[in-house]
Structure 1
Amino acid sequence: MELKKSSRKQLKLRIGISGASGFGKTKSALLLAHGITEDWSKIAVIDSEQSSSSCYSDLGEFNVLELNAPYSPERFIQAIELCEKSGMEVCIIDSISMEWSGTGGCLEIHEKLGGRFQDWAVVTPRHQAFIDKILNATCHIITTARRKTDYSLDVGSNGKTKVVKHGMKEITREGYEYELTVNFELINDNHLCKVSKDRTGLWMNRPEFIITQETGKELMHWANSGIPTPKNTLSSEDLEIEELSAKISQADSIAILLALYKQYPEHQEDLKSKYEEQKRKLLNKPNPNTFSKNGHHV
């Protein structure tokens, strides 16, 4: 163990956008992504919303990976890994609600196991692997999430009563927003949003606003204002772990992965999640031919 001075390092953004249907989650995510990278070709949309992203193909030539049922955690992990492998800088998961409540998602998996409390012991690690992949991905991640919808009768400025749609609880496992850098909550069909979680402090005491490319630029400036970690400031043990981590990522067979595991027993616990991630990747190699440009295969 070593006590160090606190400092903020450069980091990859983990952003959430949630709202009821029709509030503009997908378009907001695309504008935000382009503000972050300023290159449509470096943006990928993992589309589990039945080609919702194709409605915005006029914005630019971003990449689309159409993900159909079953919406198991493992299939979302494979999709993120394909985005990483393809050199994407921003990955939009539209939406993570399908991993939780869609066909073949966590709730259905739990129900098929019997729907008992103890059955979550099987489902929770699978869901957590998906969350860990989001948090540890090598690219910026933007996730959208549906919110349960409710309606109210409100009196407009003209004195007439009208029906207003509201977004309520996010459709994903409770507590997800606490993992994020920022969580934007779209509050109406005019695309206005508020911030329900903000580690950046950029939106403290700000009024409600509309997400644009400038929002992404602000976030990217904040993310890049940290201090990169120079290699020569790392201890010899940290350097060894960093180099071993790179070797694990480059392992192209289970045999090589196992050999590395046995060769460095002192780091087995430190890099356990890295070994498991690479093992999953080797056992479930994604097919690059599934990528398309705005719905058209390349």
Structure 2
Amino acid sequence: MQLQTAERKRVKLRLNIASPSGFGKTYGALLIAYGITGNWEKIAVIDTENDSASLYAHLGDFKSLSLHPPFSPDRYMEAIRICENAGMEVIIIDSVTHVWKGQGGLLEYQNSLGGRYQDWAKATPLYQKWLNAILQSQCHVITTNRKKQGYNMITEGNKTKVEKAGLDDEIRDGYEYEMTIALEVINDKHLAKASKDRTGLFVDKPEFLITVETGKQILDWCNQGRSTEPENHAFTEKINSCNSIAELGRLYIQHPEYQQTHNAQFTKRKKELQPALMTADAHLNHQNLHSNGNGSI
């Protein structure tokens, strides 16, 4: 634990786009992603929306990973790891609504436990683990979620009536506050506005159309400050210098801040060390056989 002067560092984008179905969430996410990378082949879409991303295949050769039920947090996290290990620069998760209310999602899981308030004690850690996989990814991450009509119950005297109350996000309350930017597509003309913005690029600005330039603007903001690449490279070298799986495990436990960002490097080094471990075990077993007169261990 060390007190130090605050310093602006380069960051990876965490952006959410919310809207009702048909307002252009997926299309907007792809345009922003291309503005960030300038390379369609470095963009991956984790698609829970019945392969809807394929409707935009004419834009470029982006990658797609279809995610089918059950929509558990673990399956989302596995999909994120696949994209990271493939060297993607931007991951689009379209959408996160299913991890909340889809088949096998968190609401269904909490319901299966009894649906009581105390059952969230088991469901919430799964949500947080899933959220951390997004927040700690080494890639830029863009997510989408659906919005639905909200309602209020109004009591007047002995009568109760239901009134429309705007649109509600179909994801856990507070999700957008974890993002760098949260955009809402407000109508079928694809106009967007910021509901939360740490960059200052879109706050108090009129509604706008999401374009490739939007992604370029955001990338410029992300790249302000000191690069963390030297630190990341130095830690990768530490991983590669581990000579046993036990040593690699100790390094992993000692540095939780690198567990997600360097997951691909940890996995790669573990696979490299496994053959050596098997060879060592075989050699030890061979020695034990020869040191025992009856051939038993």
TM-score bucket of the superposed structures, by smaller chain: 0.7 to 0.9
CA RMSD of aligned residues (A): 3.1
In structure 1, distance between residues paired with 2:123 and 2:9: 34
Residue 47 of structure 2 corresponds to 47
What's the CA shift for 1:166? Answer: 9.8
Q: How many residues align?
A: 254
What's the CA shift for 1:149? Answer: 3.1
Residue 272 of structure 2 corresponds to none
In structure 2, distance between residues paired with 1:58 and 1:13: 25
Change (3 A) 1:102 1:251: farther
Corresponding residue SS for 2:259: helix
Cα deviation digits, residues 173-199 of structure 1 (max 9, x gap): 111111111000111111111101101
Amino acid at match of 2:123: V
Residue 223 of structure 1 corresponds to 222
Change (3 A) 1:229 1:51: closer
Change (3 A) 1:138 1:119: same
Alignment of 1:151-190 (within 5 A): 168-190=167-189
Unpaired runs of 5+ residues, structure 1, are: 152-164, 283-298
In structure 2, distance between residues paired with 1:272 and 1:228: 17
**In the alignment, structure 1 residue 36 sits paired with structure 2 residue 28:** no
Change (3 A) 1:251 1:189: farther
Q: TM-score, normalised by structure 2?
A: 0.77
Stretches of 4+ moved more than 3 A in 1? 242-246, 258-262, 267-270
Bigger relative CO (Cα 8 Å, ≥ 6 apart): 1
Identity of matched residues, %: 47
Residue 10 of structure 1 corresponds to 10
Amino acid at match of 2:188: D
Unpaired runs of 5+ residues, structure 2, are: 152-163, 268-297
Change (3 A) 1:166 1:190: farther
Cα deviation digits, residues 34-69 of structure 1 (max 9, x gap): 011010000000000001101111111110000000
Change (3 A) 1:10 1:278: closer
In structure 2, distance between residues paired with 1:123 and 1:246: 35
What's the CA shift for 1:84? Answer: 0.3
What's the CA shift for 1:269? Answer: 6.0
**In the alignment, structure 1 residue 139 sits paired with structure 2 residue 139:** yes
**In the alignment, structure 1 residue 100 sits paired with structure 2 residue 100:** yes
Change (3 A) 1:30 1:166: farther
Corresponding residue SS for 2:7: coil
In structure 2, distance between residues paired with 1:167 and 1:54: 31
Retained in 2: the 8 A contact 1:77–1:133? Answer: yes
In structure 2, distance between residues paired with 1:7 and 1:37: 25
Amino acid at match of 2:235: E
What's the CA shift for 1:272? Answer: 8.1
Corresponding residue SS for 1:11: coil
